[in-house]
Structure 1
């Protein structure tokens, strides 16, 4: 598994592909790299299979660098907060203000007569 193996190098990301893995193809439409893998399963057998590496939806300029055995790609930086984050922040501030107001009001409101 390579999940979480990508390294952020500032202006781009890189993912080292282990030895025993051979690059087959890049399907740019599906944003997917395909690899043949070979590994030993003990002294009696050799395992072979095909694996795929699916790029994040935000990834751009993805490519295979054969000489370094590296998949590299760019993920644009988020320059401003998304609308969802801003909405959550406003909702949190409103809830805090309402909570403080109700707590303060509870100190000044006298209980009604007991029946």
Structure 2
């Protein structure tokens, strides 16, 4: 999907959030070049799901985790940035298999 502006991306994020309720449990892959708006879309989606506070880019930490409010079904939403991963073993070595095996929303940039 592509959006002409942030308002269109927000509308899409709100529709996706509604479709994920009552208990967000999915893996969503975000593809696009640097600066395409992947992190912006994740922020909009997490806001639409009711996440408050700062929503950070996982570029340096690789993963940021947020607690979803009870009104959105609760649970965790994990945001990943795999840009620096060059070998699939890095994913395994980082312990992400357990994260992906657990229930919750996983938002993956550069899958």
Normalising by structure 1, we get a TM-score of: 0.30
Q: Which has the higher helix share?
A: 2
Q: Which has the higher strand share?
A: 1
Higher relative contact order, structure no. (Cα contacts within 8 Å, ≥ 6 residues apart): 2
Normalising by structure 2, we get a TM-score of: 0.31
